[in-house]
Amino acid sequence: MDTELDMSVLYLLSYGMYVVAAKAGDKINGQIVNTVFQITATPPRIAVSINRENLTHELISQSGMFSVSILDNETPLAFIGQFGFRSGREMNKMEHVTHLEGINSCPVVVDNALAYLEVKVTNQVEVDTHTIFIGEVKTAKRLKEGTPLTYDYYHQVKGGKTSKRAATYIPPTTEPASTPEKRGRFQCEVCQWIYDPTIGDPEHGIAPGTPFEDIPDDWVCPVCGASKSQFRPI
Ligand code: FE
């Protein structure tokens, strides 16, 4: 029998965009997750898939609690980048983010959140690189009106990228060789976002037509916050 495995088909699955946060001892962390879904209505249970290497995984395992902040459509890319591409082992991701202390001291991120859930873990399932944490929703609270950010919108409209540790990561196919039109492009080695001088980064003051070399040294990757020195020509 012929088998076919077109990984791009998996991109057609729909997801949202969330910050999952947890605390254990004096360690606190949050990360971007797209794989959050409801399992049962009575009692209300949801599941989240988290990479076993992530600090958030360690904190959920130890504390048995996590929060899920449901992100607004208008969330800036840099906010998602900070949570999605940086490791909480290297920096305190919660330091410059407004969060409140919830049940059992579990942090809840409120910046860019439409609503949040507080969840007590009841089961967990180990699946290769990831753990599915299943839990009972203890709090479900609305913070403001708005449209929830979807994974598709993040990719298609905002130009967002997927972390290598995400449950839905698919390795990119090799970039086509540079053509005259594509010359001068630089790629972020952290998140793979590409700076195209014909487009620039107008949102952060870099006008279309600005060569990469002319960008100020304090400019950072609009997706993940990596420094200019972490870009390579492609
Ligand atoms: Fe980046």
Give buried/exposed letters for 7-19 (b at 16+ CB in 10 A, else e).
Answer: eeeeeeeebbbbb
What pLDDT is recorded for position 189?
87
Q: State the pTM of this model.
A: 0.83
pLDDT classification of 173: cutoffs 50, 70, 90 = low
Q: Which residue has the tokens 């950072």?
A: 220
Residues contacting residue 3 through CB under 8 Å, at least 6 positions apart: none
Q: How far is the CA of 136 from the centre of ligand 1 (A)?
A: 35
Q: What is the pLDDT, as a whole number, of residue 96?
A: 84
**Per-chain residues with Cβ under 5 A from ion ligand 1:** 188, 190-191, 193, 221, 223-224, 226
Structural domains in the chain plus CATH codes: 15-156 (2.30.110.10), 180-233 (2.20.28.10)
H or E stretch at 27: strand 27-33
Average pLDDT over residues 16-24: 97
Q: Render pLDDT for 46-73 as a digit per residue (tens, 0 to 9).
A: 999 999 999 999 999 999 999 999 999 9
Q: How far is the CA of 224 from the centre of ligand 1 (A)?
A: 4
The stretch 135-157 carries a mean pLDDT of 93
Lowest-pLDDT range, 90-94, 109-113, 117-121?
90-94
Instruction: Name the residue among 199, 197, 198, 204 with its Cα closest to residue 223.
Output: 204
Q: Which DSSP letter does residue 74 get?
A: T
In this predicted structure, what is the pLDDT of residue 1? 58
Identify whether the C-beta of residue 92 lies closer than 8 Å to the C-beta of residue 28.
yes
Tokens read off for 220: 């950072």
The per-residue pLDDT for 139 is 97
* CA 48 to centroid of ligand 1, rounded, Å: 25
**DSSP assignment of 88-123:** TTTS-TTTTS-EEE-GGG-EEE-TTEEEEEEEEEEE
SS3 11: helix
Q: Is the pLDDT of residue 77 over 70?
A: yes
Averaged pLDDT, 128-132: 97
Q: How confident is the model at residue 212 (pLDDT cuts 50, 70, 90)?
A: very high
Q: Rounded to 5 degrees, what are φ and ψ at 57?
A: -60, -45
Rounded distance from Cα 162 to ligand 1 centre (Å): 10
